[in-house]
């Protein structure tokens, strides 16, 4: 039983239709994005399901997950707060921004917050050099940019996400 196919039959059909039928392997990246949306990382079962759909081995799917930085194979924070500290952003204070954000949250880069909601990460150029400091939030199957940031505005973004997560949990309960 392919769990992924059972969960997203329409979406998977649409993904497969984008590529020539004899090149199913092309669907591996969109399928990984789809599978990662919920629960926030790629489970071994999802890798197995994707391998089956694309007609490749689970090892090959695993290598794709390992190569591309936006795929995660472990649950590590519901929201990845990814701060660009590349040179143009650093010239606009991104290194200081990252350091102070971590201090205010009491975490280190790469360590999830105590509630498991956030993990602060340092990432490479996000094509927003003119609006630094900036970060992207990757989680819940979405990816959103936040530009022209200060530590205070960033903490406000995190607060809003915290509330959104709490509302979603209540909805489930």
Partner 1 sequence: MSEYVLLRHRDIPDLDQLKVYLKNGGFDAWKKVVTSMEPMELIQLAKDSGLRGRGGAGFPTGMKWSFVPNNLWPHYVVANADESEPGTFKDREIMESNPFQFLEGLMIASYAVQAQNSYAYLRGEFWQIGLKLNQKIAELEEAGFLGDNLFDTKYSLRLHVHMGAGAYICGEETALLESIEGKLGQPRLRPPFPAVAGLYASPTVINNVETLTNLPPIVQNGATWFREHGTEKSPGVKVFSLSGCVNKPGNYELPLGTPFRKLIYELGGGIPEGRAIKAIMAAGASSALISATDAALDTPMDYESVANLGASLGSASVIVLDESVSMSWLAQKTTHFFKHESCGKCTPCREGTYWMAHILDRIEDGGASEKDVDLLFTVARQMQNKCLCALGEFSTMPVVSSLEKFRSDFLARVDGQTR
- Which residues here bind partner 1, judged by CB under 8 A? 18-20, 23, 25-30, 32-33, 54, 56, 63-64, 67-71, 86-88, 90-92, 123-131, 136, 142-145
CA angle 26–30–33, rounded 5-degree value:
145
User: What dihedral do alpha carbons 11, 49, 43, 47 form, nearest 10°?
Assistant: -110
Q: What is the DSSP letter of 73?
A: S
d(CA 118, CA 137): 9
Nearer to partner 1, 96 or 104 (CB): 96
- Cβ contact 146:135 at 8 Å: yes
Nearest approach, Cβ of 54 to partner 1 (angstroms)? 7
Nearer to partner 1, 19 or 114 (CB): 19
- Cβ contact 78:140 at 8 Å: yes
Nearest approach, Cβ of 34 to partner 1 (angstroms)? 10
Nearest approach, Cβ of 120 to partner 1 (angstroms)? 17
Nearer to partner 1, 74 or 172 (CB): 74
- Cβ contact 59:73 at 8 Å: no
Nearest approach, Cβ of 114 to partner 1 (angstroms)? 27
Nearer to partner 1, 23 or 159 (CB): 23
What are 123's strand-pairing partners? Answer: 84
Nearest approach, Cβ of 68 to partner 1 (angstroms)? 4
Exposed, middle or buried: residue 139 (CB in 10 Å: 0-12, 13-18, 19+)? buried
Nearer to partner 1, 22 or 169 (CB): 22
């Amino acid at each position: 039983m392919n769990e992924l196919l059972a969960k997203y039959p329409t979406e998977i059909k649409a993904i497969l239709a984008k590529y020539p039928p004899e090149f199913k392997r092309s669907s591996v990246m969109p399928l990984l994005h789809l599978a990662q949306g919920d629960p926030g990382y790629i489970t071994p079962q999802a890798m197995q399901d994707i391998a089956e759909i694309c007609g490749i081995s689970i090892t090959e799917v695993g290598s794709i997950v390992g190569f591309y930085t936006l795929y995660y194979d472990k649950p590590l924070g519901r929201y990845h707060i990814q701060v660009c500290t590349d040179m143009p952003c650093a010239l606009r204070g991104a290194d200081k921004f990252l350091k102070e954000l971590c201090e205010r949250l009491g975490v280190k880069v790469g360590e999830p917050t105590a509630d498991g909601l956030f993990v602060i990460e340092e990432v490479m150029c996000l094509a927003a050099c003119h609006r630094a400091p900036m970060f992207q939030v990757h989680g819940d199957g979405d990816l959103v940019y936040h530009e022209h940031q200060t530590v205070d505005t960033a903490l406000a973004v995190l607060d809003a996400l915290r509330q959104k997560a709490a509302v979603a949990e209540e909805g489930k309960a």
